[in-house]
Structure 1
Amino acid sequence: MTVDIDAAQFGNLLHAYGRSTDTPAHLAALAGADPDARRAALEHLWSAVIHQGTPWTATPPAAVVVAELLAGPLLTDAELRADLLGFLAAVAEAGWVYEDLDELAPPADFDFDSALAAALDSGDEEELYGDEIMANALYGRAVGGCRAAVPALLPAIMSALSDPETPVRAAAAHALAACRASLTDPDTGDRLDELAARAGSDERAALVLAMGELGLKPRAYLDDPHPGVRACAALAPGLAGDEVATAEILAALRDPAATDDWFTRRPPQLGRRIRFTLVAAAIDRIEDTARLLPAARAIAAIAHLHTVDHDWGPLLRAFFADYTGGSPTDIQTGYLAALIDNPDLWDPRHGNAGLVFRDAGLPYDRDTCRALIRAGE
């Protein structure tokens, strides 16, 4: 089996670094025997074809070719299949980074295609982005193309749910949710439930997260024997008002270090430390900071400066959201004291940490904060 790649088509499309004339060769290399070429092809997809989540006009047709490769027998490496499913998930998500595409459309009397062809013929792609109308129209076409490509991606993704390798099936669940598959197939939830019933904890967590992302309420998994699966169920947006789900998130955060050992292979939806996602959900769902305090203190004990934007920093902003100076409340003091107890969180040269304290209305100085607490006492 071979996959037909229209090289001429890509010559008139753009990726993050200009014309996508190099993309066909990279796509072909994915099914080739050269491991270095495959690695270079993957890097090309992630750095050029969808650059930091931003789609380009070359993104949709490249994704369709990847889906065709995944549907065939040429990709024998399971890690490669999982990575490519992650790429398809990113493409599907890019189709919704801008909801109202009409806002990006050029005026009715503007001949976008002619202007685009002229710019490409001139050999200076940079001029495309200097004109707001052209830049918006290009972006709108890329986003709309990703959205329109989803039906062509879904068959390969659905097939990958039955892949013999666990990481591939987990990646397929993530991609399925990114495609918003429940909007087109009412049986999607039942299919994911069936898969979860015979899956190990790593894969089951990915399937449960996909259920939540699709708008389903995986409440039954709040009783799962595995703490990571329970937490992934609790993260479902549809369970945001569920007290059992909220209690599960708080229970997980009271031992935040343990969350790092939940899975042999983290679900693809959780690319960073799992506690970061749990912290964001807890802040979003719980207004009573007294209820958050035990978990927040546990996080403060293990946090580092490099996690400031993901765990202890957002919590500091939440605890001091209504602080206007003077003596902190007992609850605020409880959290601030936990931060003071951790020497790894204090470095006057660290700009992000200083910004978080400034936003909280506090001085980023350990001794000054300690004196503030003593004055309140």
Structure 2
Amino acid sequence: MAEANEAVAAVDWNRLFHAHGPATDTPRYLQALVSDDDAAVAAAYQHLWSAVLRPGTVWPATPPVARILATLIHDPRLGAGDETIRQGLLVFLRAVGKAVAVVERIAPVRESAYPSDASVTGAWLGAYLTADEEDRAALCTHPARDLVLRRAVVDCFDLLPELLDQVKPFLTHPSPAVRSCAVAAIGTLARHPAAAPDRPALIHAFEQAVRATDDIREHAALLIGIGELGGTPRAWLTDPRPGVRGCAALAPTLADDPAAIDVLVALSRSPRAFDRAFAPMLAPPAYRLMSLPQFEGTPRWALIDTVCARVADFERIATGALAVVPLAFRMAPCPDLGPFLEVAFADGWPTPDAVTPAQRALVAAVGEHDELWDPDNAYRQATLTDLGLPDDRERWQALGRPPVFRDHSGVWLPDGLRGLRLRPMRWVGAERTDPAFAGKIVSRTAAAFSAGADNGPQAARITIQSDLTFTLTVEGRGLPPSRRDGEPFALTEMFTGLSTGQMPHLQFGINAAYCSAVSVRSWFDGRVYAQEFIDLAPLGPVEDIGATDRSGFEVIFTLDSQWLPADAVIPRSLGTG
């Protein structure tokens, strides 16, 4: 621990502060990072994010801390053996780079941060560091504080090339998770002008690494890194894995590329599937929502924000808007529905005679969901007010009320199975809010696959797994993984379309339309095939996972708890096995 102690001791912490006040407490946290005390390591890590870089703001303590961390990430004692601490510090260095990504305006910031008369800032700093908490709060309104914070920005900016050199060696670390975090850090640190000559080589290294790795999370992180460095990962737009092709399409250099926009539009129809796209398709539940170090928040927010920035035609992305209505107004501004609303109502709230069919469908969906209209929901109020839209449910319901048409010219429906959610009575025999809705799905599934149904000699059973999850197991003929030997439909098509249009397999598509997740295993011609879907989107191609002497299939349906009312439940009595 000697090197860490020396680096920490070389800094005059009495002249620095962070988000919570004087930084005299920071040295012990930095030293704790290389201790063998798990609790102390955790507290130190929390201190970095809550005080040294909060909220995405650099402070006078940030530059020396970043320099010390760039050394500590090489220390084998870091984190008391917990490699996630090393990953977290790499992401912290990325955040430092992002916080000072002011390349175009660093010159005026530098000039204003160091006025000719430095006595003003010196006097303010001395007063601030010796004041009590109440007096410090009053001093925060003084203009000198802004000058001191600008100096922190300049100092961090000047430090970026040094940090970049310290991070580069981790591109060859044995852990894919550490390599991914190093890629994320380089994506912001290399924006410094001094790193411009290095970017082509870094892009090439990232492209080579993409081709070498079989880790989907690293694969996707590298593609985002290529985009952040100014590269063009067009070659990966056709990858069968949604997380990979989606991260390629996010590249800024592909902002006007029709193929990249098509990828983003298609993925935006099932935004939650993008959240699940960075773990192997059959990963255990604990690993299914693994994200990438470049994403701030859930991955779908980056997808939604980007597609809405690139597509001005709302009808083209309206299906995605309907998909996130149940997720809306849980923070402000709303990252799920807000960007869609901004595109949909770019010209303001429409009059009844000017509203488009796609706008009306979205307005009707928002107005219909009781869950969105809690009178105390300040997130909804703030989001709608900021967008210039009414925070009046009756106005949404009135505008969303369908007019009487002589034909279907004024009607808009989401593509494919997604339109079934707008007509649950037709397909399930119950409205969304009907307490019997979940049970009817299960009953219709049991009826479709019961003995006597036109599906051959098969034995089916229903198992109720939880309030909204049930399993259909059928012993008999499995589901073909592809269209071969004259098969009219393959596994993927059965859960993303209405199959042959007849029972029993028509029920697959109907069920999937009301599910947030579907997991399929098929025992067919001596092999086990598997595929998973989120909101009708396959997480990847059908996988062959081994040999079997069994015939039949098993499907786990999880009804969408976000779309259904909170009290929705499948009656346990509907289980048949």
Indicate how the Cα distance of structure 1 residues 296 and 118 shifts in structure 2: closer, same or farther if over 3 A, else same.
closer
Q: Distance in 2 between matches of 1:359 and 1:17?
A: 30
Question: What is the aligned length?
Answer: 375
- Per residue, is there more strand in 1 or in 2? 2
Indicate how the Cα distance of structure 1 residues 101 and 361 shifts in structure 2: closer, same or farther if over 3 A, else same.
closer
Q: Distance in 2 between matches of 1:121 and 1:362?
A: 45
Aligned to 1:63: 66
- Partner secondary structure for residue 323 of structure 2: helix
Q: Distance in 2 between matches of 1:362 and 1:121?
A: 45
Aligned to 1:345: 372
Q: Does the Cα contact within 8 Å between 1:106 and 1:137 map onto a contact in 2?
A: yes
- 2:139 is equivalent to residue 115 of structure 1: no
Q: Distance in 2 between matches of 1:204 and 1:139?
A: 37
Indicate how the Cα distance of structure 1 residues 237 and 303 shifts in structure 2: closer, same or farther if over 3 A, else same.
same
- Per residue, is there more helix in 1 or in 2? 1
Aligned to 2:218: 203
Aligned to 2:34: 31
Aligned to 1:369: 396
Report the alpha carbon displacement of residue 219 of structure 1 after superposing the two structures with TM.
1.1
Q: Deviations over 1:122-166 (max 9, x none)?
A: 55682653420x112211111011111112212231111122222
My pick for the range that moved more, 338-347 or 147-156, is 338-347
My pick for the range that moved more, 291-300 or 191-200, is 291-300
Q: State the one-letter code of the partner of 2:242.
A: P
- TM-score under structure 1 length normalisation: 0.91
- Partner secondary structure for residue 330 of structure 2: helix
Q: Does the Cα contact within 8 Å between 1:204 and 1:229 map onto a contact in 2?
A: yes
Match of 1:334 among 347, 353, 361: 361
- 2:234 is equivalent to residue 219 of structure 1: yes
RMSD of aligned C-alpha atoms? 2.4
Indicate how the Cα distance of structure 1 residues 304 and 290 shifts in structure 2: closer, same or farther if over 3 A, else same.
closer
User: Which structure's relative contact order is higher, taking Cα pairs within 8 Å and 6+ residues apart?
Assistant: 1
Report the alpha carbon displacement of residue 303 of structure 1 after superposing the two structures with TM.
2.3
Report the alpha carbon displacement of residue 278 of structure 1 after superposing the two structures with TM.
1.1
Q: Distance in 1 between matches of 2:380 and 2:122?
A: 49
Aligned to 1:101: 109
Q: Does the Cα contact within 8 Å between 1:304 and 1:344 map onto a contact in 2?
A: no
Report the alpha carbon displacement of residue 375 of structure 1 after superposing the two structures with TM.
7.1
- 2:303 is equivalent to residue 278 of structure 1: yes
Q: Distance in 2 between matches of 1:340 and 1:254?
A: 20
Trace 1:1-377 onto structure 2 (pairs within 5 A): 2-3=3-4, 4-7=6-9, 8-75=11-78, 76-96=81-101, 99=106, 100-102=108-110, 104-111=112-119, 114-115=122-123, 118-119=126-127, 122-123=130-131, 126=136, 129-132=140-143, 134-180=144-190, 183-185=196-198, 186-199=200-213, 200-264=215-279, 265-300=290-325, 302-306=326-330, 309-327=334-352, 328-358=355-385, 362-374=389-401, 377=404
Q: Does the Cα contact within 8 Å between 2:368 and 2:397 map onto a contact in 1?
A: no
Indicate how the Cα distance of structure 1 residues 368 and 192 shifts in structure 2: closer, same or farther if over 3 A, else same.
same
Q: Does the Cα contact within 8 Å between 1:5 and 1:24 map onto a contact in 2?
A: no
Q: Distance in 2 between matches of 1:68 and 1:112?
A: 34
Q: Does the Cα contact within 8 Å between 2:364 and 2:401 map onto a contact in 1?
A: no
Report the alpha carbon displacement of residue 333 of structure 1 after superposing the two structures with TM.
0.7
Indicate how the Cα distance of structure 1 residues 363 and 54 shifts in structure 2: closer, same or farther if over 3 A, else same.
closer
Q: Distance in 1 between matches of 2:88 and 2:315?
A: 42
Q: Distance in 2 between matches of 1:369 and 1:123?
A: 52
Indicate how the Cα distance of structure 1 residues 44 and 337 shifts in structure 2: closer, same or farther if over 3 A, else same.
same
Indicate how the Cα distance of structure 1 residues 51 and 248 shifts in structure 2: closer, same or farther if over 3 A, else same.
same
- TM-score under structure 2 length normalisation: 0.61
Report the alpha carbon displacement of residue 263 of structure 1 after superposing the two structures with TM.
1.7
Q: Distance in 2 between matches of 1:50 and 1:370?
A: 44
Report the alpha carbon displacement of residue 106 of structure 1 after superposing the two structures with TM.
4.6
Q: Distance in 2 between matches of 1:350 and 1:117?
A: 41
Q: State the one-letter code of the partner of 1:371.
A: A
Q: Distance in 1 between matches of 2:92 and 2:44?
A: 12
Q: Does the Cα contact within 8 Å between 1:313 and 1:353 map onto a contact in 2?
A: no
